[in-house]
């Protein structure tokens, strides 16, 4: 049986179920910016704010898109944070989140990971997010 793929223009991004952009795997700022630009609705503005906050907090941050999610890390040390779009929120995944103070509020099936969800209209506590980002960047990263 032949598998049908959706017909899209070369510059058109497919949104997967839940509204997550389908972006080709890639390393560096370019794929991450493509993902952020393709985030639907209000999520794109929040994605830009989060990306800028990460760059301000960790100036030498490494970036990539894998598994349709932007990853942030330290070159040679692994990844400490990822973003992912869902229908009603953006999920920030801190891979060593149980080591952060305070611990992000949403538990994971993975023992050390913790999540923070951002919904439309939420006031972003950039001071808290910056503290989490800074702490996470100093912990051993995840190899993916």
Q: Could you tell me the CATH number of the domain that includes residue 64? A: 3.90.1150.200
Burial tier of 95 (Cβ tally within 10 Å: 0-12, 13-18, 19+): buried
Considering the domain boundaries, does residue 94 fall inside one? yes
Confidence of residue 83 (pLDDT cuts 50, 70, 90): very high
Q: What is the mean pLDDT of residues 132-140?
A: 97
Query: What whole-number distance in Å separates Cα of residue 15 and Cα of residue 23?
Result: 9
Choose among 139, 142, 137: nearest CA to 56: 137
Beta bridge partners of residue 107, listed in sequence order: 114
Q: What is the mean pLDDT of residues 86-108?
A: 96
Asked whether residue 18 carries a pLDDT value surpassing 90, the answer given is: no
Number of domain units in the chain: 1
C-alpha count within 13 angstroms, C-beta hemisphere, residue 112:
12
- Higher-pLDDT residue of 96 and 143 is 96
Q: How far is CA 120 from CA 15, 26, 46, 54, in A?
A: 18, 28, 9, 20
Considering the domain boundaries, does residue 67 fall inside one? yes
Q: Which pLDDT does position 7 carry in this prediction?
A: 40
Considering the domain boundaries, does residue 72 fall inside one? yes
The owner of tokens 């223009």 is 9
pTM of the predicted protein model: 0.87
- Domain range spanning residue 46? 17-138
């Amino acid at each position: 049986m032949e598998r049908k793929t959706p017909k899209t223009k070369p510059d058109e991004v497919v949104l997967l179920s839940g509204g997550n952009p389908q972006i080709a795997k890639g390393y560096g700022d370019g794929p991450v910016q493509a993902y952020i630009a393709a985030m639907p609705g209000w999520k794109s503005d929040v994605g830009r704010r989060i990306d800028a906050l990460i760059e301000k907090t960790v100036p030498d941050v490494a970036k990539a898109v894998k598994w349709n999610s932007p990853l942030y890390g330290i070159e040679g040390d692994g990844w400490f944070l990822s973003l992912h779009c869902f229908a009603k929120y953006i999920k920030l995944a801190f891979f060593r989140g149980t080591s952060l103070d305070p611990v992000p509020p949403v538990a994971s099936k993975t023992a050390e990971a913790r999540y923070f969800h951002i919904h439309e209209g939420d006031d972003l506590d950039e001071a808290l997010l910056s503290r989490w980002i800074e702490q996470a960047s100093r912990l051993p990263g995840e190899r993916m």
